[in-house]
Amino acid sequence: MGSEVIILRYGHRVVRDYRVTSHCCLVARALGADEVIIDGDEDKSLMNSVEKIVEKFGGNFKVSFTENWLKKLKELKKSGFKIVHLTMYGLPLEKQIKGIRKPKKVVIVIGSQKVERQVYEIADYNISVTQQPHSEIAALAVFLDWFFDGKELGNKFENAKIVIKPMKKGKCVVASCNE
């Protein structure tokens, strides 16, 4: 889609956040992001489980870890990325999205409950998906869906070994051909 979208998952705690961060990665991939960078100690089992999905369901999605989220964000900002921080305290998504769609390169920062003040400061946009407490997984999903204007729902993934054929009832798994 001519854009480059990276997610920075802030404050991942090994074991405790395993499932939530896994969901974040899979949502990022399914809804058109290119990459997730996880701030926290390297978590091999998380990485393996995401990589297995990519191997089966295709695409070029990447996951990596960083020990210094601030340095990483500064580097990305220098190379032309705009930083969008999703927080219930930010400006409403529905009013800001038009301006955000224009830069083609964005980093979306999603945190847990406690996010340092520096995240708010370095962000080009602090954006709320409602001003209610809910879920970083949901905020990311709704943000990506608005960012790509719903078109990401029809994305095809290259080199998929498993392709699902939509069905009214039941399940239909189609093995695709690898070229």
Stretch that binds its own copies, among 1-9, 26-34, 71-79, 99-107 (CB under 8 A): 26-34
Cβ proximity to its own copies, 67 vs 130, nearer residue: 130
Cβ proximity to its own copies, 67 vs 134, nearer residue: 134
Query: What is d(CA 41, CA 39) in angstroms, rounded to the nearest whole number?
Result: 7
Query: What is d(CA 49, CA 58) in angstroms, rounded to the nearest whole number?
Result: 14
Stretch that binds its own copies, among 1-9, 40-48, 73-81, 150-158 (CB under 8 A): 150-158
How distant, in Å, are the alpha carbons of 58, 96, 123, 140, 167 from that of 157? Answer: 5, 29, 30, 20, 19
Q: In what order do the strands lie in the sheet with 105-110?
A: 62-66, 35-39, 4-9, 105-110, 82-92, 125-128
Using CB under 8 A as the binding rule, the residues of this chain from 56 to 95 that contact its own copies are: 57, 88-94
* Contact residues for its own copies, defined by CB under 8 A: 19-20, 23-24, 26-27, 29-31, 53, 57, 88-94, 117, 120-121, 123, 126, 128-135, 137-142, 145-146, 150, 152-155, 157, 163-172
